[in-house]
Structure 1
Amino acid sequence: MAVTAAGVFRRTPRERADQRLAWERADQPFFAAGACHILAWACRDTYPDRPIGIAGLRFAGERQVFHVYATWADRAFDHAGWNPEADLLAANREFERRPLDRIAIVDDLATFCRAQHHRMPHEYWDDPLPRAHDYVSRHPPPWT
């Protein structure tokens, strides 16, 4: 799957206001915008024997992370599957047309969600974790 900037799939105002409407989006838009952090942690949990990291993108100089993804070596996993991390960074910078910072995220999911004002799994219309694990399973990891 080709690298695509997360912003391509931003939720509409109606999707932001209606959790069920947001939930009913196809998997790629759902995990690109609104549940990317859930997907990243599901990826890490799927491969406990691998050193999967979590990284985030934010606009330069800002604190808030707008996109989260899993990392392994020089690869990144997000809504577009496994791709070179450099390609993911370039696609998002080009789409946003402003400088971005990549940050390593060392918090657990709950701490991250509190600090970044992201939803925990129980705050979605339905549990996103099974959906995220299914999505991860459809994208072979780069080490196979």
Structure 2
Amino acid sequence: MPDLYGKTAVLYDRACKFPKPDRAAPCRAAIVRRKQGNAPSPRNAIGSPKLPTQQSGAMFFPKINVKADPVRRWHRPDRHFFANGACQVLAFAFLERYSDLGFHARWIKPATGYTGNHIFVSDGRHAFDYHGLTTEAQLLSFAFRRARRFFPGWDATLVDLPTAVLISEQRSRQIEGLWLREPGQFLHDAMPRAQAFLDKFGNLRNRLLTASASCTSHDTE
């Protein structure tokens, strides 16, 4: 079996291991500020720690109001941009380029009361999102472990989406719980950016066809 996923699989495996949040950090920071003579009020100093913006090199939580600010949203790094807020555009770019490989879009739809929507593409075995090519099992394992790490009890269902929904706000709103931003509704057209980001992963067609051929040969032995 060829090394189809390379470092991507390792990234997913590592991403599933989360360090425990340092809940004492805000208190230590408050002590330092008091020594410097600019201590905030006790209530602010001991306030609940914020969620980290990045964990294990693969956890992205946008800062407050980033989505509401078109400029700040656009100027995030590509992986942050396509991990949170523009995953549907990247999914469409993939499906448009590799339309003959049997992939379709899947929506991770959080249970009522939870956040954490995400869209990726899958052929039932392989999957692709901002991390790159992996297996659907690895992608879902990472997504669920990540969410449950920060939101105990988090759960979600998988919903298959028509390709056209990914770039149409109107069509997306016809699906309960879904409301997608079109490529042209960002600060700039997000589709060229998605295509350029997709280029960074090389020719995925050859890797997928090689893997399929290898699996077929093993099945016939």
Larger radius of gyration: 2
1:113·1:120 contact (CA, 8 Å) conserved in 2? Answer: no
Residues 45-65 of structure 1: per-residue CA shift (max 9 Å, x gap): 011222221001012357x88
Aligned length: 143
Q: Is 1:83 aligned to residue 134 of structure 2?
A: yes
Any idea what SS the aligned residue of 2:188 has?
Answer: coil
2:73 aligned partner = 22
**TM-score, length of structure 1 as denominator length:** 0.86
1:1-144 equivalent positions in 2, closer than 5 A: 1=8, 2-3=11-12, 4=15, 8-60=59-111, 66-97=117-148, 98-106=154-162, 108=164, 109=166, 110=168, 111-112=171-172, 115=175, 116-140=178-202, 141=204, 142-143=207-208
**TM-score, length of structure 2 as denominator length:** 0.58
Over aligned residues, Cα RMSD in angstroms? 2.4
Residues 30-80 of structure 1: per-residue CA shift (max 9 Å, x gap): 000010000001100011222221001012357x88100111341111010
**Unaligned 5+ runs, structure 2:** 1-7, 17-57, 149-153, 210-221
Identity of aligned residues (%): 25
Distance 1:132 1:113, change over 3 A: farther
2:93·2:195 contact (CA, 8 Å) conserved in 1? Answer: yes
More strand by share: 1
Deviation at 1:8, TM superposition (A): 2.5
Deviates more, 1:118-127 or 1:94-103: 94-103
